[in-house]
Amino acid sequence: MSERTLYEYAVVRLVPRVEREEFVNVGVALYCKKYQYAEFLYHLDTNKLKVLCPDIDIENIEKHLLSFQRICTGDKAYGKIAHLEQAERFRWLTANRSTIIQCSPVHTGMCLSPQETHKELMDKLVL
């Protein structure tokens, strides 16, 4: 029987107009030390985003989210942050900031499979 292990996650939010503090959940960043898993999954609902901000630049948002994803996985082509250890990258990505892409507080849980748990969190919190 497999043993449950600790994981951490944050919901990634798109805040099209920071001054209004309205946001749409667009992804989940998940880190699990035991399985050396650090991934960011995302999905953009462009219709929902256009309601909040009709002139939003979806292409630019996609580029930022792709960078977030590549840094999370440690793609060395994405700068010095991507060279950090998994835990350090996760902490840097999920730090508080007041930009168009923000993260919820970090939450913890126990899982058997970080991949399956990640998909479940995406289905529950984003899709």
**Model confidence at 124: pLDDT above 60:** yes
Give me the residues paired with residue 108 across strands. 8
Distance of CA 74 to CAs 36, 52, 57, 102, Å? Answer: 11, 32, 26, 19
Domains: count for the chain: 1
pLDDT (0 to 100) of residue 41: 98
pLDDT (0 to 100) of residue 98: 83
pLDDT tens, position by position, 16-42 = 988 888 899 999 999 999 999 999 999
CA dist 123 and 127 (Å) reads 5
Give me the residues paired with residue 24 across strands. 14
Q: Which alpha helices (DSSP H) does 9-45 contain, by range? A: none
**Model confidence at 1: pLDDT above 60:** no
pLDDT tens, position by position, 34-88 = 999 999 999 999 999 998 899 999 999 999 999 999 999 999 999 999 999 999 9
- CB–CB of 108/8 below 8 Å? yes
pLDDT (0 to 100) of residue 109: 98
Distance of CA 71 to CAs 41, 54, 57, 90, 123, Å? Answer: 12, 29, 22, 9, 23
Find the mean pLDDT for residues 97-110. Answer: 94
Q: What is the span of the domain harbouring residue 26? A: 5-125
